[in-house]
C-alpha cells in the first residue's frame, strides 16, 4: 500500500518510512498540506495520512478539490485530532503511533490486507 504522510513530526516520518521500506511498500512524506496537493495528484497514493493540526483555518477544501479531483478519490486517515472540514477520514490514528505496527494496522482498517 502506498502511504502519503503529511506531518511535521520529525521522529514519526523517518520511522514510518523505514517500516514501509522493510515491508517493500511505497511511502512519501511532506510537512505541508498545500505543498503536498501537487504530489498527491501526481503520485496517486492509496491513502493519505494527514495531521489535521497542519491544516490552516483559511485552507479552502472546496477549491483544492476542484483543482485536484483526485483528492476526492483518495482514502484519508487522520493523524491525531482535530480534523478540519474537508474529506472525512476513514479513521483516526492517535499519537503516539507505533511504527512497527502502523502499516499492518492501516491495511487492516482499510481492508487492504
- Residue 77's domain is classified under what CATH number? 3.40.50.2300
- The total number of structural domains in the chain stands at 1
Q: What is the pLDDT of residue 113?
A: 53
Comparing C-alpha atoms, which of 95, 113, 93 is closest to residue 48?
93
What integer pLDDT is reported at residue 55 of this predicted model? 85
Q: Report whether 23 contacts 86 (CB < 8 A).
A: no
Question: By residue range, what is the domain housing residue 31?
Answer: 3-110
Look at residue 53 in the predicted model and tell me its pLDDT: 84
Residue 98 has a pLDDT of 92
Residues (pLDDT < 50) of the chain are: none
pTM > 0.75: yes or no: yes
Amino acid at each position: 500500500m502506498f502511504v502519503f504522510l503529511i506531518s511535521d513530526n520529525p521522529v514519526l516520518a523517518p520511522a514510518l518510512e523505514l517500516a514501509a521500506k522493510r515491508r517493500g511498500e511505497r511511502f512519501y512524506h511532506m510537512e505541508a498540506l498545500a505543498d503536498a496537493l501537487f504530489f498527491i495528484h501526481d503520485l496517486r497514493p492509496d491513502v493519505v495520512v494527514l495531521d489535521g493540526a497542519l491544516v490552516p483555518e483559511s485552507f479552502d477544501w472546496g477549491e483544492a478539490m476542484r483543482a485536484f479531483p483526485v483528492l476526492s478519490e483518495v482514502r484519508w486517515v487522520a493523524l491525531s485530532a482535530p480534523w478540519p472540514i474537508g474529506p472525512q477520514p476513514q479513521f483516526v490514528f492517535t499519537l503516539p503511533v507505533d511504527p512497527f505496527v502502523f502499516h499492518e494496522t492501516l491495511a487492516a482498517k482499510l481492508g487492504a490486507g
